[in-house]
Amino acid sequence: MGIFGKRSDKTLEHELQAHLGRRIDVVAQGSGPESSLLATRDLLALRERGQWRVFGWEQIATGAWREEESSFMWKTTSDEDFTVRLDDVGRLPELFKERVQNSMVVTVSHDLPKGRLQIIGRRTLDGSDEITWYAVAGGGADLTDPAVADFVVSETDRLKAEYEV
Residues 32-69 pLDDT 10s: 999 999 999 999 999 999 999 999 999 999 999 999 99
Domain limit, last residue, from 86, 102, 118:
102
32 and 69 in a common domain: yes
Domain limit, last residue, from 102, 126, 146:
102
108 and 96 in a common domain: no
pLDDT score at 99? 96
For residues 105 and 102, what is the distance between their CA atoms, to the nearest angstrom? 8
For residue 80, tell me if it sits in a domain.
Answer: yes
Q: What sign results for the dihedral spanned by CA atoms 142, 120, 85, 53?
A: positive
pLDDT score at 71? 95
97 and 146 in a common domain: no
Closest CA to 65 of 46, 42, 90, 47: 90
pLDDT score at 60? 96
Domain limit, last residue, from 102, 128, 149:
102
CB 71 within 8 A of CB 83: yes
Domain that holds residue 23: 10-102
3-state secondary structure of 54: strand
Total domain count for the chain? 2
For residue 1, tell me if it sits in a domain.
Answer: no
Residues of the chain with pLDDT under 50: 1-8
Amino acid identity, position 129: D
> How far lies 3's CA from each of 28, 40, 89, 152, in Å?
8, 11, 15, 40
